[in-house]
Amino acid sequence: MSKMIPVVELFGNTIQGEGALVGTPAIFVRVFGCNLCCAGFGMPAGKLSHEADDIVKSDQFKNAKTLKDLPLAKTGCDSYPAIHPACMRFCTMFNAMGLVEAIKDIAGNNKPLVVFTGGEPLLRQHELACVIEALYRQYHFKDFMFETNGTVAWQEFWVNELPGINVWFSISPKLSSSGNPKDKAIVPDAVKSMAVASPQRTYLKFVVDKTTPIEEVQQTIEELTRPCFNLLPVYLMPEGGVLDDRSRANAQYVADLCWKLGYRFSPREHLTVYGNAWAK
């Protein structure tokens, strides 16, 4: 019997706002659950955010009926509803075929990119691989992406053998600024498994701000690409889950850094287009 897939967000009518496929019409499937805790984002060095815990203790959270009733987080994980246990009540439980039909209903006659995000979607890779196969065989979807932290190895290699299918891996390794220990956050063998499975569609994406030691970024790139036998494309993306003056200034800093070091710049274009909102 197939396992159920807890989905905290499922929406279309949007674009992929980050990484290599910016601007591509997309459906997003945000799967609940993660193996990391990124409470350090947006915090001074050595400090961890408690913003998500404060939110779930608030009256606003207690009275929330849907995810759209929740505030966005400015520190820590900007997708806290996909990782905080108290947010499980906002999840919809799907079996694989139920999720296939829900995605098809959103897509209508279109065949958009289907993005599996989280949390960490590769924790559910077997179930999601079955979703991919059914969308491909029954409805002729061909473009899929996993937004992953790069710590869970890809094992469903048979998916990549489907003719004409495009499976992308957008790998966002978590640096020390995330608050995760390095031995847990940086897993070269997991990255290699994705690079081997989809060598032309796997890339690294680092969340960066002015406090990020660029030497750590460069060292991590070296550690992760060395076992892959090829250099993966590298994107730098400004830290910030909401669009404000701080995030705009940080975007300029990161763009200048990309020019200096020769990396690619990734915007958060969904923020520019849709503003600060869930399900966009």
Can you give the pTM of this predicted structure? 0.93
Between 240 and 121, whose confidence is greater? Answer: 121
Mind listing the pLDDT tens digit for each residue in 161-173?
A: 999 999 999 999 9
Indicate if the pLDDT at residue 1 is higher than 60: no
First to last CA, the chain: 33
Mind listing the pLDDT tens digit for each residue in 120-159?
A: 999 999 999 999 999 999 999 999 999 999 999 999 999 9
In 3D, which of 115, 61, 112 has the Cα closest to residue 84?
Answer: 61
Residues constituting the chain: 280
In 3D, which of 211, 208, 268, 212 has the Cα closest to residue 234?
Answer: 208
In 3D, which of 85, 160, 173 has the Cα closest to residue 129?
Answer: 160
